[in-house]
């Protein structure tokens, strides 16, 4: 029973990691015509000479993506910690309950974060139109 639960927790953590990685889209980079123009564009942006003004929509989306990544990473770590606590509980009912609650709250927090991301993304897309 314990081995099955450990396997379940490991697959859940792996699934959450894969899903979290696919939900956060990769940043879009402007197509460069030559390598020199790409380097110059990077140097200009690093020096504060960005070619275009920052779009508030992109800034908010970037902040949300970073926060979602952090929440996902923390949730996976807490799921692993809960699984570890469950494994070393040695059948003590209070420790088992505490470990199960840790896992449950980490999963609930991850689900809430995904819904929050969806809501923010929906609002930003509709306000942009």
Q: Taking a C-beta distance cutoff of 8 angstroms, is the pair 91, 24 a contact? A: no
pLDDT tens digits, residue range 27-59?
555 556 677 777 777 777 666 655 555 677 778
Comparing 34-43, 62-71, 85-94, 102-111, the range with the smallest average pLDDT is: 34-43
State yes or no: pLDDT of 72 exceeds 60: yes
Please give the residue that has the higher pLDDT: either 128 or 75: 75
88-97 burial, b at 16+ Cβ within 10 Å, e below that, comes to ebeeeeeeee
For the chain, the domain total comes to 1
Q: Which domain holds residue 119?
A: 2-128
Burial of 26 (0-12, 13-18, 19+ CB in 10 A): exposed
Provide the pLDDT for residue 20: 58
pLDDT tens digits, residue range 102-122?
999 999 988 988 888 888 888
State yes or no: pLDDT of 26 exceeds 60: no
């Amino acid at each position: 029973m314990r081995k099955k639960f450990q396997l379940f927790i490991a697959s859940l953590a792996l699934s959450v990691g894969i899903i979290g990685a696919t939900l956060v889209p990769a940043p879009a980079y402007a197509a460069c015509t030559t390598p020199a123009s790409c380097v110059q564009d990077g140097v200009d942006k690093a020096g504060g000479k960005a070619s275009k003004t920052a779009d508030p929509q992109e800034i908010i989306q970037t902040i949300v993506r970073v926060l979602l990544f952090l929440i996902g990473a923390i949730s996976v770590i807490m799921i692993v910690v809960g699984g570890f606590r469950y494994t070393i509980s040695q059948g003590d009912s209070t420790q088992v309950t505490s470990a199960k609650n840790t896992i449950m709250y980490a999963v609930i927090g991850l689900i809430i974060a995904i819904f929050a991301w969806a809501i923010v993304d929906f609002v930003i897309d509709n306000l942009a139109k």
